[in-house]
């Protein structure tokens, strides 16, 4: 039923929907996440590739998100029994097979005709939780009906709060197990690849979960010279809105886009169930710290009261170990699964996740850390 639904939807998109991708697809020889990036670059229209790949401003933070991971050194321990690895964890009452989630990203139908349904299918196949974006091109109910794996839902909060209330209720009704509230975007960032490429949604594609807000191509919110506000986002948002959402939600409320220790403390005080350390994939404010730089301060600030997650630059199993060593309970990936989606649909998403999971296991074994609990600061080579 879910599959039929997906096919009928897909047939209305710009290309005829391909049959469900099999593992012998274009990404079958990809052996690392960067391979998917290159394959996606070759396949995607330039406008879409740039939309996904780009960062804010001069993309200094975009590069920094990677450079900082690369500069962190691991300290392997030897002669530890790593013949059995336990990568599982409990998070907000859910059991996860491994500490890697799919971060919310917009407009999957731009990337693949099956859109979010393919993403959810691939995530489920790999055993990972997908955080559905409120800018999805598929209705959250359709995704939930189709998905066999766990879903969370991400919220932007526009000025019209009734829309927010509706979305929360719809997400919870559809079975989403957590609400991720993006708090780092009172205005959109200076995303110049989008401006240059005249980014827009093609006819027939829309933010279906946000009906009532502007849907026209010209209303994507990329600010005109002089203006920085968009109706999609409420720039007057304060911690009071978080209080209101926490009072409304029955599922855990996770704040995404925290970088400072100060805001992390406030998040815990205002009832957030967790925080996601993130610079929005380097798409908002250029020259913020890399997410992995901000992580240890946030982790220290919350003192274990609530779980800390992070995203931004994860491309390798070693990156996951580093994030965990610096205080993250789990990480999220964004662009990498979109490359997978572009290359091979659901199978591509699944393969991306499995490669990363395999790398994580190898890294744990080579570090001499057989469980997630055994990964702490001591897995990192001290700076001095």
Q: Does 33 bind a second copy (CB under 8 A)?
A: no
Q: Which of 13, 105, 284, 347 binds a second copy (CB under 8 A)?
A: 284
d(CA 135, CA 368): 41
Q: How many residues bind a second copy (CB under 8 A)?
A: 77
Q: Does 32 bind a second copy (CB under 8 A)?
A: yes
Q: Does 259 bind a second copy (CB under 8 A)?
A: yes
Other Cβ atoms within 10 Å of 377 Cβ, number:
12
Q: Does 229 bind a second copy (CB under 8 A)?
A: yes
CB 335 within 8 A of CB 278: no
Q: Does 19 bind a second copy (CB under 8 A)?
A: no
Q: Does 196 bind a second copy (CB under 8 A)?
A: yes
d(CA 321, CA 337): 19
Decide whether 31 or 373 has the Cβ nearer to a second copy.
Answer: 31
C-alpha distances in Å from residue 195, one per residue of 14, 46, 56, 254, 338: 23, 13, 11, 31, 21
Site stretch for a second copy (CB under 8 A), options 36-44, 134-142, 148-156, 226-234: 226-234
- Exactly one of 108, 112, 200, 280 is catalytic; name it: 280
User: Dihedral (C-alpha) 75, 78, 82, 85: value to the nearest 10 degrees?
Assistant: -10
CB 33 within 8 A of CB 352: yes
Q: Does 197 bind a second copy (CB under 8 A)?
A: no
Q: Which of 7, 20, 43, 60 binds a second copy (CB under 8 A)?
A: 60
Of the candidates 58, 45, 62, the one whose C-alpha atom is nearest the C-alpha of residue 200 is 45
Q: How far is the CB of 281 from a second copy (least distance, A)?
A: 14
Which residue in the block uniquely carries the two structure tokens 């005829």?
16
Of the candidates 307, 281, 312, the one whose C-alpha atom is nearest the C-alpha of residue 94 is 307
Q: Does 178 bind a second copy (CB under 8 A)?
A: no
Q: Interaction with a second copy in 130-159: which residues (CB under 8 A)? A: none
CB 119 within 8 A of CB 337: yes
Q: Does 377 bind a second copy (CB under 8 A)?
A: no
Rg, Å, the chain Cα set: 20
Q: Which of 228, 231, 269, 303 binds a second copy (CB under 8 A)?
A: 228
Q: Interaction with a second copy in 91-130: which residues (CB under 8 A)? A: none
Backbone CA torsion sign across 69, 70, 72, 73:
positive
Q: How far is the CB of 189 from a second copy (least distance, A)?
A: 7
Residue 152 sits at φ, ψ, to 5 deg, of -115, 170
CB 332 within 8 A of CB 276: yes
Site stretch for a second copy (CB under 8 A), options 68-76, 137-145, 148-156, 303-311: 68-76
Q: Which of 2, 187, 246, 248 binds a second copy (CB under 8 A)?
A: 187
Whether 280 is catalytic: yes
Q: Does 248 bind a second copy (CB under 8 A)?
A: no
Q: Interaction with a second copy in 311-350: which residues (CB under 8 A)? A: 316-318, 322
Q: How far is the CB of 329 from a second copy (least distance, A)?
A: 20
CB crowding 77-110: b at 16 or more within 10 Å, else e: eeeeebeebebebebbeeebebbbbbbbbbbbbb
Q: Which of 134, 190, 230, 251 binds a second copy (CB under 8 A)?
A: 190
Q: Which of 1, 16, 81, 218 binds a second copy (CB under 8 A)?
A: 81
Decide whether 10 or 277 has the Cβ nearer to a second copy.
Answer: 277
What is the C-alpha end-to-end distance of the chain, expressed in Å? 58
Site stretch for a second copy (CB under 8 A), options 12-20, 75-83, 88-96, 98-106: 75-83
Of the candidates 66, 65, 47, the one whose C-alpha atom is nearest the C-alpha of residue 193 is 47
Q: Does 361 bind a second copy (CB under 8 A)?
A: yes
User: Which residue numbers are catalytic?
Assistant: 280
């Amino acid at each position: 039923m879910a599959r039929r639904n997906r096919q009928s939807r897909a047939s209305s998109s710009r290309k005829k929907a391909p049959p469900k991708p099999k593992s012998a697809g274009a990404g079958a020889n990809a052996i690392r996440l960067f391979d998917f990036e290159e394959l996606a670059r070759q396949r995607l229209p330039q406008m879409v590739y740039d939309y996904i790949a780009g960062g804010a401003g001069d993309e200094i933070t975009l590069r920094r998100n990677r450079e900082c991971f690369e500069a962190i050194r691991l300290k392997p321990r030897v002669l530890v029994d790593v013949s059995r690895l336990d990568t599982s964890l409990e998070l907000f009452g859910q059991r996860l097979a491994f500490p890697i989630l799919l971060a919310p990203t917009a407009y999957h139908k731009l990337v693949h005709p099956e859109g979010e349904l393919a993403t959810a299918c691939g995530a489920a196949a790999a055993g990972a939780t997908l955080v559905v974006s409120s800018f999805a091109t598929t209705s959250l109910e359709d995704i939930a009906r189709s998905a066999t794996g766990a879903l969370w839902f991400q919220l932007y909060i526009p000025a019209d709060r009734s829309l927010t209330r509706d979305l929360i209720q719809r997400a919870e009704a559809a079975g989403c197990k957590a609400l991720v509230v993006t708090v780092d975007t009172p205005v959109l960032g200076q995303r110049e690849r989008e401006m240059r490429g005249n980014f827009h949604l093609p006819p027939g594609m829309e933010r279906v979960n946000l009906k009532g807000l502007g849907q026209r191509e010209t209303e994507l919110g990329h600010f005109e010279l002089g203006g920085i506000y968009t109706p999609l986002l409420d720039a007057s948002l304060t911690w009071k809105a978080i209080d209101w959402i926490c009072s409304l939600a029955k599922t855990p409320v996770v704040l995404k886009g925290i970088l400072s220790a100060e805001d992390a403390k406030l998040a815990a005080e205002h009832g957030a169930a967790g925080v996601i350390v993130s610079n929005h994939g380097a798409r908002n404010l250029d020259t913020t710290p890399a997410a992995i730089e901000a992580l240890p301060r946030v982790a220290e600030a919350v003192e274990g009261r609530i779980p800390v997650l992070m995203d931004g630059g994860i491309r390798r199993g070693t990156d996951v170990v580093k994030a965990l060593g610096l205080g993250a309970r789990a990480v999220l990936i964004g662009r990498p699964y979109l490359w997978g989606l572009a290359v091979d649909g659901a199978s591509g998403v699944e393969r991306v996740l499995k490669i990363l999971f395999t790398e994580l296991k190898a890294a744990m074994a080579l570090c001499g850390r057989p469980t997630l609990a055994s990964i702490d600061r001591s897995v990192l080579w001290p700076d001095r």
